[in-house]
Amino acid sequence: MLCIVTLGLASCKKETVVQSSNTILTVVKDIPTTAWALSSDNKTYSAEISVPEIDQFHIDNEGTLVYISYNNGASYIALPFVYNIDAFSYEVYRGGVAIDVQSADSQLQPRRPTSTVRVKIVLVGNDL
């Protein structure tokens, strides 16, 4: 009986097939210091970046990665992150991405970036 069970289990084979036809689209944009707008409650600086490839299907089913560079693209930091009390995050919406800067200490007003910021947006999807 043990031999039959052993042969039966050994002959079972679980097979997982993953077919990936993902495509990647990278968008690089510079945000000038004048593009940052302060919210009416003085708690968030935001800059919006137009990315027409982001549609509702992308929002519902695909992925968006955002990176920020303060040295003209020599290096990038993935969002979200906190640096020197400023918290950087992003929101993806149909037609674009908004980059937000908020104070990690709610008692302070966030600081507007003082130089041009380069942003890299990576869209990962099936049919970009």
| 2 found inside a domain | no
| 9 found inside a domain | no
Predicted confidence band of residue 105 (pLDDT cuts 50, 70, 90): confident
| 8 found inside a domain | no
User: Which range marks the domain in which residue 115 is found?
Assistant: 22-125
C-alpha pair distances (Å), 23 with each of 26, 46, 93, 107, 123: 10, 29, 19, 43, 8
| 16 found inside a domain | no
| 13 found inside a domain | no
| 72 found inside a domain | yes
pLDDT tens digits for range 29-42: 999 999 999 999 99
| 58 found inside a domain | yes
Is the pTM for the entire model greater than 0.85? no
- Give SS3 for 72: coil
| 4 found inside a domain | no
Helix-strand-coil percent breakdown of the chain, rounded to 5? 15, 45, 40
The total of structural domains in the chain comes to 1
